[in-house]
Amino acid sequence: MSLFDLTGRVALVTGGNSGIGAHISEALSAAGATVFIVSRTGIDPQTGLTLPDSNCLIADLTLPDTPALVFERFGNVDILINCAGASFMDRAEAISTTDFMAVLNINLTAAHALSAAFVQSLRKRKIGGSIIHISSILANQPIRGSAAYAASKAGLDQLTRVQALEWGRHNVRVNSIAPGWFETPLTAELLASPAGAILRRKNPLGRLGSAGDLDGAVLLLASDAGQYISGVVLAVDGGQSLAG
């Protein structure tokens, strides 16, 4: 179990105040890591409570100056989890360019910008680190109405591979986790519909993802247990991608 121990490590989780990001933050903390959060809001939507200022930076990740600001505030980070995300569901011919670009900016462009700033920080400190992007099985199995979201996650998967290829020489590992259908604020409406019932029935394990199902994958890729894993997109979906 010492391979998974994160004692002494510092992790930064974007979008870490709700949904999957909140669960990832808890898993990292339980493994011993100090966890910082970057969020667009200081209110936890699940509890309605104000997040503590000491470990949370309220910032817009799509602004060009934000990555530098993040690492000025949290300078000793050695694990970066890019979990902040946005979704806009509409037919491909109906979605506006503004809405399409808004999804790409947070899901893809911001993730790259923060990762690049993170690597610069690691190089200055002459240490290695781990980057984990949170992707989606929709990168490979899109559903109707997911043009912007699916495109952003497909781009994120390929970005993962390129970053891993380029940054490996700096001892920086880059991987993606592609969750299947998890109940989060972003998916709540869809999964409460008849389509959600179909997705449950089609899953080989017969259920949707729950809070702790990502913990093992996150700890593997963040810790020394995954020290020789880089450039991987790991599906955590109960086999959903096999069922179509």
Alpha carbon separation from 162 to 48, 119, 151, 165, 219 (Å, rounded): 39, 14, 17, 5, 22
> For the stretch 115-129, what's the b/e string if a residue is b when 16 or more beta carbons lie within 10 angstroms of its beta carbon?
bebbbebbeeeeebb
Q: In this structure, are residues 9 and 123 in contact, taking their beta carbons and an 8 Å threshold?
A: no
Q: Indicate which residue of 36, 74, 118, 149 is catalytic.
A: 149
Q: Which amino acid is at 244?
A: G
Catalytic annotation on 228? Answer: no
CA-based nearest residue to 167, from 68, 66, 80, 73: 80
Q: What is the DSSP letter of 237?
A: S
Q: What is the dihedral of CA 140, 141, 147, 150, to 10 degrees?
A: -50
- Please calculate the CA angle 176-182-184 and round it to the nearest 5 degrees: 105
Catalytic residue numbers?
149
